[in-house]
C-alpha cells in the first residue's frame, strides 16, 4: 500500500474505532440497565456487575463493527470528495478500485475480526455470562441477603435479616414460607449464619421459634429451638441441568445438535439457523464497505455534496440488514430458506463490486474517447 493508501486507511480506521466505541458504549449502557436489579435486589457488587455486562460486548460488537465501518467509510470518502482530494487522485489516474482499496482491506480485516467473535469469543463470553447470571439469580439469590429488606428467594419464600456483622453473623432473622398456602410457616431467630455446603446454601438459625398455622382450623403450632437449619439449596437450580441457548454454543454444537437431547431436538431448526448465521454475519462488513464505495465513487464527484448517494447507500444497508433478519427468522421455521441467508450476504459484495469496477472502466473509456476526438 502506497502513502496515499495508508493515509486513507488510517483515517477510516480511526473513524471506525471512534464510531465503534461510541455505539458500543450506547448499546452497553442500555443493555446493562436490564441488570441493575441485580444490584438493587440481589446485592451484587459493582465490580461483578461490571464484569457481567462486559461479557455482553462480543454479542453486539458483531453487529456494531460492520455498521461502524460503513459509517466511517461514508464519512471519510465524502470528506475526501468535499475537500477535492479524490478529484485530484482520480485526475492523477487512480481507478475506483485503487481509491477504494484501503477501505476494502480494512473491510477484510473487520471480516476476520468478526469471524473470531462469531466462532469463538461470542459463544465463550455469552456462555460465561449466562452461567454467572444463572448462578447469581439462583445460588447467589440465597447468599446475597440484603440487610433490613425482605428478600424474595422464591415464590412464597421470603427472608428478612435485620443486620449482618463483619464476621458474617446474621442478626434478627425471619423466614416466611408460604409455598403451601394451607400451612404457612414463619421462623424467627435471634441470630444465625448463612452456610454454603456441597448440597447448597443453608440458613443456620440459633435461639428462635418455628410457627405453623393450619388455615382451616386456625390452630397454631409453636416450636422453640436452640439450633435450626433451613435448606435454601432446594430453591436453587444446578448449572448442569440448564439447557444452553443458541448464543452460548460453538459452531459444531449449532450445526450438529444432539437429537437425543429434548431441548436440542425441539429447537433443532433454530440451532442450525444460528450456526449458518454465525458464518454469514461477518460477510456483511465487506458488503457494507463496498456499498459505501460504490455509492460514492461511481459517477462523477460533486463538491456541492453527495447527499443523494449517501441516502442511497444508507437505504441499501437498511434493506440488506432488514432482509437478513427476516430471512433468518424464516429459515428458523423453514430450513429451505437457509441458502437465502448466504445470498443476502453475497449480493451486496457482488453487485457493489461490479458497479465499482465497471464505473472505473467506463470513465477510462470515456477519457480515451475524448482524447481521440481531441486528436
Containing 259, the helix (H) or strand (E) segment is none
Per-residue pLDDT reduced to its tens digit, 49-86: 788 888 989 988 999 999 999 999 999 999 988 888 88
- pLDDT tens per residue across span 350-371: 999 999 988 654 454 444 344 3
Contacts of 92 (CB under 8 A, 6+ apart): none
Enumerate the β-bridge partners of residue 2. Answer: none
Q: What are phi and psi of 146, to 5 degrees?
A: -80, 140
Residue spans per domain, the chain: 3-138+246-374, 146-235
Give the model confidence (pLDDT) of 202-240 as tens digits. Answer: 788 999 999 998 877 778 889 999 999 887 766 554 445
* DSSP symbol at 199: T
Q: What is the pLDDT of residues 188-208, one digit of tens each?
A: 999 998 776 666 677 889 999
The H or E element spanning position 44 is: none
- Single out the residue of 47, 231, 55 nearest to residue 139, CA to CA: 231
pLDDT band at 321 (very low <50, low <70, confident <90, very high): very high
- Report which of 107, 73, 8, 86 is spatially closest to residue 314, judged by C-alpha positions: 73
In this predicted structure, what is the pLDDT of residue 187? 92
pLDDT digit string, tens, across residues 165-174 = 877 788 999 9
Name, of 22-36, 143-157, 279-293, the range with top average pLDDT: 279-293
Which H or E element spans position 213?
Answer: strand 200-213
| Nearest partner of 338 among 330, 346, 348, 347, judged by Cα | 330
Q: Distance (Å, rounded) from C-alpha 375 to C-alpha 373?
A: 5
- CB count in 10 Å sphere of residue 29: 10
CB 291 within 8 A of CB 317: yes
Return the pLDDT at 372. 40
Radius of gyration in angstroms for the set of CA atoms belonging to the chain, rounded to a whole number? 30
Report residue 101 CA to chain centroid gap. 30
Query: Bigger pLDDT: 7 or 53?
Result: 7
Distance CA 266, CA 246 (A): 12
- Do residues 75 and 15 make contact, with C-beta atoms less than 8 angstroms apart? yes
pLDDT given at position 375: 42
- Entry pTM: 0.73
Residue 73 near residue 289, CB atoms below 8 Å:
yes
Strands 157-164 and 170-177: antiparallel
**Average confidence (pLDDT) over 114-136:** 89
Amino acid at each position: 500500500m502506497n502513502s496515499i493508501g495508508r493515509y486513507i486507511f488510517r483515517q477510516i480506521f480511526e473513524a471506525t474505532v471512534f464510531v465503534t466505541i461510541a455505539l458500543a458504549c450506547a448499546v452497553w449502557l442500555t443493555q446493562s440497565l436490564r441488570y441493575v436489579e441485580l444490584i438493587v435486589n440481589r446485592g451484587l457488587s459493582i465490580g461483578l456487575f461490571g464484569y457481567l455486562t462486559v461479557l455482553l460486548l462480543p454479542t453486539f460488537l458483531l453487529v456494531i463493527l460492520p455498521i461502524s465501518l460503513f459509517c466511517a467509510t461514508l464519512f471519510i470518502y465524502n470528506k475526501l470528495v468535499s475537500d477535492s482530494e479524490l478529484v485530484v487522485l482520480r485526475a492523477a489516474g487512480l481507478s475506483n478500485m485503487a481509491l477504494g482499496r484501503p477501505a476494502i482491506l480494512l473491510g477484510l480485516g473487520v471480516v476476520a475480526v468478526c469471524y473470531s467473535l462469531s466462532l469463538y469469543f461470542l459463544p465463550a463470553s455469552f456462555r460465561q455470562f449466562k452461567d454467572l447470571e444463572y448462578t447469581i439469580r439462583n445460588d447467589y439469590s440465597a447468599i446475597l441477603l440484603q440487610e433490613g429488606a425482605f428478600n424474595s428467594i422464591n415464590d412464597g419464600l421470603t427472608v428478612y435479616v435485620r443486620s449482618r456483622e463483619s464476621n458474617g453473623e446474621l442478626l434478627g432473622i425471619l423466614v416466611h414460607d408460604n409455598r403451601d398456602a394451607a400451612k404457612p410457616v414463619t421462623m424467627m431467630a435471634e441470630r444465625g449464619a448463612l452456610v454454603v455446603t456441597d448440597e447448597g446454601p443453608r440458613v443456620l438459625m440459633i435461639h428462635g421459634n418455628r410457627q405453623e398455622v393450619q388455615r382451616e382450623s386456625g390452630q397454631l403450632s409453636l416450636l422453640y429451638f436452640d439450633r435450626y437449619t433451613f435448606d435454601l439449596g432446594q430453591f436453587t437450580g444446578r448449572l448442569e441441568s440448564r439447557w444452553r441457548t443458541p448464543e452460548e454454543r460453538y459452531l459444531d454444537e449449532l450445526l450438529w445438535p444432539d437429537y437425543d437431547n429434548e431441548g436440542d431436538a425441539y429447537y433443532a431448526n433454530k440451532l442450525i439457523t444460528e450456526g449458518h448465521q454465525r458464518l454469514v454475519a461477518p460477510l456483511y462488513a465487506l458488503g457494507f464497505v463496498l456499498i459505501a464505495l460504490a455509492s460514492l465513487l461511481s459517477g462523477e464527484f460533486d463538491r456541492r455534496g453527495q447527499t443523494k448517494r449517501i441516502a442511497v447507500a444508507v437505504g441499501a444497508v437498511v434493506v440488506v440488514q432488514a432482509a437478513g433478519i427476516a430471512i433468518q427468522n424464516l429459515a428458523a421455521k423453514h430450513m429451505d430458506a437457509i441458502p437465502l441467508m448466504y445470498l443476502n450476504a453475497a449480493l451486496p459484495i457482488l453487485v457493489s463490486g461490479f458497479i465499482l469496477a465497471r464505473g472505473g472502466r467506463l470513465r477510462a473509456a470515456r477519457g480515451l474517447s475524448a482524447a481521440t476526438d481531441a486528436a
